[in-house]
Amino acid sequence: MIYNNLNSLELIKIAVEEEGCSLSNNGALLTYTGEHTGRSPNAKYYVFESSMKNILDWKRNNKITKSKYKKIKDKFTQYADNNKLYLQDTLLVRDPSHSIGFRVYTEFARHSLFVRNMFITEDQAVDLPESPAVFQIMHFPSLLKEPTVIISIEDGLILISGTFYSGEIKKAAFSVISLLSPLITSSLPMHCSVNIDKNNETPAIFFGLSGTGKTTLSSHPNRILIGDDEHLWTDTGLTNIEGGCYAKTLNLSKNTEPEIWKSCMKTGTMFENVTAVSGIPDFTDSSITENGRASYSLDVVDNAHVLGYVNKHPKNIIMLTCDAFGVLPPVCKLTPQEAYDQFLLGYTAKVAGTEQGVKEPKPTFSPCFGDPFMPLKKKQYANLLKDKIEKHDVNCWLVNTGWTKGPYGRGERIPLNTTRHIIDLILDGMLTKVPYMKHKYTGFSIPLLNYADNEIMFPEQGWKNIEEYKKAATKLLNLMRLK
């Protein structure tokens, strides 16, 4: 039996009554994913099809033979024929001239709610395409024992099993769009946030890996949010791919992130691996995972863009990094070539204590700021980015939200207010009107303006021992050159 396009309230009712979920005191659904509380990075496979043989970067992507894929596909088909399922007919990509249809079958009502939150439903779509869905997704967590994600481009099919973590659904779909969009429309898929001023004139792109502040800094009270995670840069402008947000909740507070907090308190929001005490979500509790999430539709976000796309090209691209080595300045102006280089690096750092055995800051590189979701050769994406930057005369910036006056453990985190002020100066155009100085130790261009202490602006001045700073800078820059 298939339940077609149930609304959020109907799905919540089933999830509570039949799936062991519960409600927060605000009516949000509390769900848990068991063993797998995040993506399983080695679980995704592309079918080795003749049409994809010379297109995908097979050095960076797992492949599965057509014969093995067919056996697994048959298991999914048989499971679908003999079990109750929930179907959502949806789209991805808000700009109707680029929209792709997805029919998403889920084993559980709670995952169908996730799809309603994150994909574009009929009531959100500006213009429904006349053609049927291009892709189907089957998400049956109970079918296989191990996390498995299989993508067949020729069949237009995504198979997901072995994990209850909802993020696998959206990231598998994003991977498909990241594969097809550059090939079909020369659009650049981006793992990023995008916002725009209230006059709908000056969009900004925020690239950044987990922990760099991408979602926090793009949720701005004086700007309109186009989206917080996945976008396309097309020939005509910028479009959100999704219909919702999938925000991290650890240490979420009403004071520091009021827009996200307010959205989490709405009926229809789905919490994943967030504990609650007497119905009140405890965002400080990481006992289940540090990757607790809230999924909610953009419909409940007060400052969300109505259409989700603009026929405007960005004025600024901000590449965020959390440099735990205390080496990088808080803001640098990038040339198009430097932006190309930083995009290919996708640098940030994990700090001690975030992973077992990590004793000092650990550099992390994710090309294109979303390496697992970019199946083509990474330079194809970087070349698209550089071409668009040069064609549309976009200002590019590297903003460090990490440590200053020393590395993690000895220095201090750059104050959030300082970073927000820097972002405001970028978005207001002020930082394009000041002189610059080439930083002696990193080679980046630093704007000369009294908006932060020199000890922060020129990080070597905040270190107690300049020789230690030089060693740290040399080590980090050498790592960057090796990538």
Q: β-strand 157-161 against 135-139: which pairing, if any?
A: parallel
Decide the pairing of beta strands 316-321 and 395-400: parallel
Measured CA to CA, the distance from residue 431 to residue 436 in angstroms comes to 9
36 residue type, one letter: H
Hey, which residues does 139 pair with through a beta bridge? 106, 160
Rounded to a whole number of angstroms, the distance between the first and last alpha carbons of the chain is 51
Longest dimension (CA), the chain: 69
123/388 Cα distance (integer angstroms): 32
Contacts of 357 (CB under 8 A, 6+ apart): none
Instruction: Write the DSSP symbol of residue 51.
Output: G
Residue type at position 365: F
From the candidates 170, 214, 315, 333, which is the catalytic residue? 214
Query: Does the annotation mark 39 as catalytic?
Result: yes
**Of 24, 33, 36, 39, which is the active-site residue?**
39
Q: Hey, how many other C-beta atoms are within 10 angstroms of the C-beta on 35?
A: 10
Buried b (16+ CB within 10 A) or exposed e, 218-230: bbbeebbbbbbbb
475 is known as an active-site residue: no
Of 210, 275, 286, 366, which is the active-site residue? 210
**Strand duo 276-277 + 22-23: pairing:** unpaired
What does R_g of the chain's alpha carbons equal in angstroms? 22
Catalytic-labelled residue, pool 33, 37, 202, 215 = 215
Residue 239 known to be catalytic: no
366 as an active site residue: the answer is no
Tell me which residue of 315, 336, 329, 313 sits closest to 429, measured CA to CA: 315
From the list 98, 191, 223, 305, the catalytic residue is: 191
Q: Is 295 a residue of the active site?
A: no
- Nearest C-alpha neighbor of 324 from the set 353, 282, 344, 303: 353
H/E element, 230: strand 230-233
Q: Is 70 a catalytic residue?
A: no
Give the integer Cα–Cα distance in Å for 314 and 205. Answer: 7
**Interacting residues of 9 by C-beta distance below 8 A, sequence separation 6+:** 267, 268
Q: Catalytic site residue 305?
A: no
- Which of 110, 171, 313, 350 is the catalytic position? 171
Catalytic residue among 95, 228, 229, 323: 229
- State the helix-helix crossing angle for 167-185 and 109-118, rounded to 10 degrees: 40
> Is 378 tagged catalytic?
no
Q: By C-alpha distance, which of 319, 312, 427 is closest to 368?
A: 319
Burial 447-475 (b: 16+ CB within 10 A, else e): bebebbeeebbbbbebbeeeeebeebbee
Cβ contact 403:473 at 8 Å: no
Q: Which residue, chain included where needed, has tokens 């097979």?
A: 58
- Reduced to 3 states (helix: H, G, I; strand: E, B; else coil), residue 125 is coil
Write out the catalytic residue numbers.
Answer: 39, 171, 191, 210, 214-215, 229, 293
